């Protein structure tokens, strides 16, 4: 099926800076799990991402799919939160082309299963390289300040240099 699957963090952070549309532009359709929907839309009603993700689902470019492998889910839930566990389970089951998640623990588990992953920073790098945004530095600053996204200073500088911008 080779789909794009997302955990809540990437959706929330990109929505907070008005860049959720980049996922649609780059991948057409995004699959999320019921736990991700619950975290972003139901429990996050008044926070960034809630209305944007709901609208994306209403417009047909975000779908909600329930993982089927209950044993795998149980194993993943012992290490991760519900949303991360379901997102990784879906990525494995559906042979996802890419999995969007930002948390260190989730990324480490995704590595164990050899899943191709990215996060908010990766989406913004691609946007810069493809001319969708003019300044990665401006978007990363907004990500830090408006979305409360933590990025280590060394990584921040490395990312900017990778696209020809000075820190």
Mean pLDDT, residues 95-107 taken together: 95
CA distance 35 to 82: 6
Q: What average pLDDT does the structure give for the chain?
A: 94
What is the pLDDT, as a whole number, of residue 1?
A: 47
Kindly tell me if the per-residue pLDDT of 95 is higher than 70: yes
What is the pLDDT, as a whole number, of residue 87?
A: 98
In order of their start, the domains of the chain are 4-120 (3.40.50.1010)
pLDDT tens sequence across 65-77: 999 999 999 999 9
pLDDT tens sequence across 51-94: 999 999 999 999 999 999 999 999 999 999 999 999 999 999 99
Show contacts of 115-120: CB within 8 Å, 24+ apart. 115/88, 115/91, 118/10, 119/9, 119/10, 120/9, 120/10, 120/13, 120/14, 120/147, 120/149
Global confidence as pTM: 0.93
What is the pLDDT, as a whole number, of residue 2?
A: 65
């Amino acid at each position: 099926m080779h789909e794009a699957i997302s955990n809540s963090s990437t959706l929330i952070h990109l929505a907070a800076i008005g860049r959720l549309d980049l996922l649609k532009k780059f991948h057409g359709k995004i699959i999320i799990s019921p736990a991700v929907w619950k975290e972003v839309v139901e429990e996050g009603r008044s926070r960034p991402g809630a209305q944007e993700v709901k609208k994306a689902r209403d417009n047909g470019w975000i779908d909600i799919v329930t993982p089927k492998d209950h044993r795998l889910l149980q194993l993943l839930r012992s290490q991760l939160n519900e949303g991360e566990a379901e997102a990784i389970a879906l990525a494995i089951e559906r042979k996802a082309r890419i999995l969007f998640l930002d948390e260190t623990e989730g990324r480490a588990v995704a590595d164990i299963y050899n899943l191709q992953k990215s996060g908010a920073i990766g989406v913004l790098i691609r946007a810069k390289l493809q001319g969708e945004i003019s300044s990665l530095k401006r978007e990363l600053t907004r990500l830090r300040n408006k979305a409360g996204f933590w990025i280590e200073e060394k990584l921040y500088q490395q990312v900017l240099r990778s696209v020809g911008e000075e820190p």
